Structures are given as structure tokens and as C-alpha cells.
Amino acid sequence: MKDPWRDVEAGRRQLDWAVAIGDPAEAEYLTPLGREVASQAIANLDAFFGPGWLQRATYPAPGTTGPTMGPYFASLLGAPAFVAAIGLWARLQVLVNAQVQGIGQVRKNLRANPTAEEFRHHIALARLAVLARQAGARLMLEPVKPQGGPGDLRAVRADSDVFIEVRALGPDQAFRAHNQRIDGAMMHLQVLESRHDVHWDGEVPTEPGLHWKETVAAAAAEAAATGVPVEVTVDVATLTARPGPAPAGAQISGPLWGADQGPRLLQALMNKAIKTQSAGAAWLWLEDAGALWPLTAFARDPLPQKAEVLRRALDPLFDGHPHVLGVVLTSGEMRLGESLDDATETHCRGAAFRRTMPGSLVRESIVVHRRLCVPGQYALITEMCAGEPAWLDLALARLGVPGGVAALTTWPVRQAPTAGRQHFGGGLYLPTQS
């Protein structure tokens, strides 16, 4: 059978959505309806992004950081990536079909700039637009501000006219270097597993250098030779090599990222506050794309504590920028190694939400408003956060697809696939575009 990925790698064809999603007829996890929808999604995504876009995004020019498109490559990753690709298609196609004002400009911006920052921003913007529409609002994408220049999203419901400015915040250079070190360590452990028929249980140190690599290699060889587990402790991180394949529940955990991301987050919000002064009143929506979740200590805090930390941090922003009505901080979608129930926590200045979506992806959203609350606007914002689990099924219904995402695939899209280990360095925890 011909492999289109080989043709892409060899330069014989460009990467497009037909390659990325794959031949629907060959995907065993798709239902007959799923195959029809996959074909439609391929055609619509190619039309929306334009010819050559996916090739340029995945193989960017030197010096350019392209978006992380791998999570959408269903032909390589199967059903979970198919759900992600259908979600990408659905959010864009709903806005196109509804002829939402400004969707043409969003498409133009994405086509012209296949970069990580541009993709993160506009896909987050499209997600929020669909959520606002789901909550009954009329939309305008990239509305012109009174003193000129485009905003991000205007959503009008009843007498509430909500102006939302969106920012996606990715990891900084230091975090990317940290993540690369941890990814390299995890790969080293996987090679040793294959070579010696062992598995690992425990922690990876913050600095997994040459000494650590040599030590764990010796431990893997000894465990394989003796049939007895061998424990290794380097920089207070303990890892055990155990003979045989990994049982369910075995975990390798990576170190938390210790650098304080608070000043960087607040600076991003301050910049957005300055840009929205002419809007009269605005909400700032900061979507985390790896700066806080999943590897920082903040990400491990329970929802009420996250809300309290954010509330205290934001008072200077509200004091300095009276037009900012509130802030929403959301995580990128996460695939959690442990099962966590959906939750809603209210506090004196807002609310916090944890919601599970199709594909067992989890999002946490923290809403903080200034001391003077605007009830109608606050209600719309919180409904957008609370109602996210239903968005894809509702979007598919608008697109004429009955039965929701569950009707497209035989994979249990609302249950996490069983995983033998929890990987904090990449892979399982790689934040998807939102």
C-alpha cells in the first residue's frame, strides 16, 4: 500500500489535510458517518487554509517557529488525533457557514502567517467565538476599536455587549530548554526499556545529565541480568528499574518547572490592557499554551487555590486599568494521567471550572472580575467556560452531523485510553492548540 507520508518526506508531494487525516476508507476506527465527515473536513480545511499551508506550517522556513500540528495527524495517531482534527474543522466551519463578520480576516491572517503564535491566537479566538455563539451571542471577529485598529471578539447578548481581547501564552525559552532536557531523558529511558526488557517507576531529576544517563543505563543492565529491581537516586529523584514490561499504573514523573511565570503572565495582561483602552470596557482572555500548565507548581494547585492566587495577583491590573472588567485564564487542553471529575468553584470575585471534553481532554478556566461586577457580561463569560464540554456536539449538529462526535468513531471519545505511564516531559502532556 502506498504511504503518502513517504512521498511527503521524499519531497514528491506536499503535506495537505488528505495526508494528515488519512484515507477515511482505511481508518478502521471510523463509522460510515465518520468517513463521510472526514472527507468533508479534509475538503473544508484545505479550502480554508489554502494550498500549501499545512506544508509550510509543518516544515517552516529557517528561523520561523511553526505551529505544533502533530496532534491533528489522524493518519499517524489514530482516533484521538481524528477527534482533534474534527474539532478544528468544526469550529472554523461553523463560523464560515454562519458568515460571522470578520471570519474572512481571520482566514486571511492564518493563510499569510503559518506560525505558532498566529495559529495559537486565531484558533483560540475561533474557539471562543463558537462558545459565545453557543451561549446565544451575536458575534463580530476582529471588530474595529473606536480609536482604530482591530480587536479580537465582540459578543452581544441581550443588553450585554462584551468585548474580549485574547492572548495565547506559550512557554518561554528557558522552559522550552527544560522540556527538551526532560524529553531527551524520557527517550533515553525508553531506549533502555527496549534494550534490556525492563520498565521504570519513579522520577526524572531536574538536570538529567551524562552521569544520570550512565547510572540508569547501568541499573537497567543490572536489573535485566539479575531479575531484581535496581533503585537509582540522583539529585533526590529516585527511579527504579524493574524487570519485564510495565504494568498498568507504573509512572515516570518529571520535575515541576520552578521558575516563577507570574511576572510574565501579568506583563502579557498589562500589554493587552493598554491595547484595549479605547474599547471602553473589555475582558482579557489569556489562554495558556504551556507557560503554566502542566509542569509548574501552579498547575498542581487545587482550583480554589488557583482562583485565590490569580485574584490577588490581578488587583494591581484592575486598579491601573479601570476599563478592564475581568480576566479569564484557561489552560490549554490537557490529557491527564489520572481521572479528575468536572468541578465548579465559586469565589467572591468569580469562579473556576474544570471540564472534560471529547477525547478526554481537560481544560481548567479561572474567571476573576474586578470589584464592580457587570452581571450580564459575567454570566456570558462563565457560561462559555461551563458549557465547553457540549460545544463539539452542538457544532456538529449545526453542520448537519447527527449524533455528535460519538457517532463518528468507535473509539470511546469521552473516556481516556488506558495508559501505562504518566509522561510529564512531552507526548502525553504536549499541550494541543486551542
What pLDDT score does 427 carry?
27
Whether 421 shows a pLDDT value over 70: the answer reads no
Does the pLDDT of residue 39 top 80, yes or no?
Answer: yes
Looking at residue 46, what is its pLDDT?
A: 97
Output DSSP code: residue 368: E
What's residue 339's pLDDT? 58
35-39, 184-188, 293-297: the lowest-pLDDT one: 293-297
Which of 50-59, 203-212, 237-246, 259-268 has maximum average pLDDT? 50-59
Q: Where are the alpha helices (DSSP H) in 197-277?
A: 210-226, 262-275
Instruction: Return the percentage of the chain with pLDDT > 70, whole number.
Output: 87
Average pLDDT for residues 211-225, to the nearest whole number? 93
pLDDT at 426 over 70: no
**Longest CA–CA separation in the chain, Å:** 74
Conformational region of residue 290, where left means phi above 0, alpha means psi within -120 to 50, and beta covers everything else = left
pLDDT for 362-400, tens place per residue? Answer: 899 999 999 877 899 999 999 999 999 999 999 999 999
Distance CA(164)–CA(433), nearest Å, equals: 19
- Per residue in 296-334, pLDDT (tens digit) is 778 888 999 999 989 988 988 999 999 999 999 998 766
**359 pLDDT tier (thresholds 50, 70, 90):** confident
- pLDDT for the residue numbered 260: 55
Pick the most confident of 35-44, 314-323, 418-427: 35-44
The 8 Å CB, 24+ separation contacts for 127-130 are 127/91, 127/391, 127/434, 128/153, 128/164, 128/166, 128/285, 128/384, 129/91, 129/95, 129/100, 129/153, 129/155, 130/90, 130/91, 130/94, 130/95, 130/391, 130/395
Q: What is the DSSP letter of 56?
A: H
Task: Answer yes or no: is pLDDT of 428 > 60.
Answer: no
Predicted TM-score (pTM) of this structure = 0.78
Is the CB of residue 264 less than 8 Å from the CB of residue 101?
no
Local confidence band at 2 (pLDDT 50, 70, 90 cut-offs): low
pLDDT at 249: 64
pLDDT for the residue numbered 415: 40
Query: How many helical (H) and strand (E) elements, i.e. helices and strands, does the chain have?
Result: 15, 13
What mean pLDDT is predicted for residues 135-143?
A: 94
Mean pLDDT of 256-279: 74
Sequence ranges of the domains in the chain? 4-114+405-413, 174-253
Measure the CA–CA gap between 335 and 403, rounded to whole angstroms: 24
Q: What confidence tens digit (pLDDT) does each residue in 92-120 have?
A: 999 999 999 999 999 999 999 999 989 99
pLDDT tens digit sequence for 166-217: 988 877 666 667 677 887 888 889 889 989 999 998 888 888 889 999 999 9
Pairwise CA distance, residues 212 & 191, whole Å? 15
Give me the percent of the chain exceeding a pLDDT of 90.
Answer: 57
Q: Which residue has the higher pLDDT, 289 or 126?
A: 126
Look-up of cell digits 519513579 = 202
* pLDDT at position 206: 81
Whether 413 has a pLDDT exceeding 60, the answer reads no
Say if residue 414's pLDDT is above 60: no
Q: How confident is the model at residue 256 (pLDDT cuts 50, 70, 90)?
A: low
Rounded mean pLDDT of 341-361?
Answer: 89
Helix ranges, 276-364 (H)? 297-300, 303-320
Q: Which residue has the cell 528557558?
A: 174
Cell triple for 72: 491533528
pLDDT band at 273 (very low <50, low <70, confident <90, very high): confident
**At residue 352, does pLDDT exceed 90?**
yes
Mean pLDDT of 424-430: 27
Gyration radius from the chain CA atoms: 23
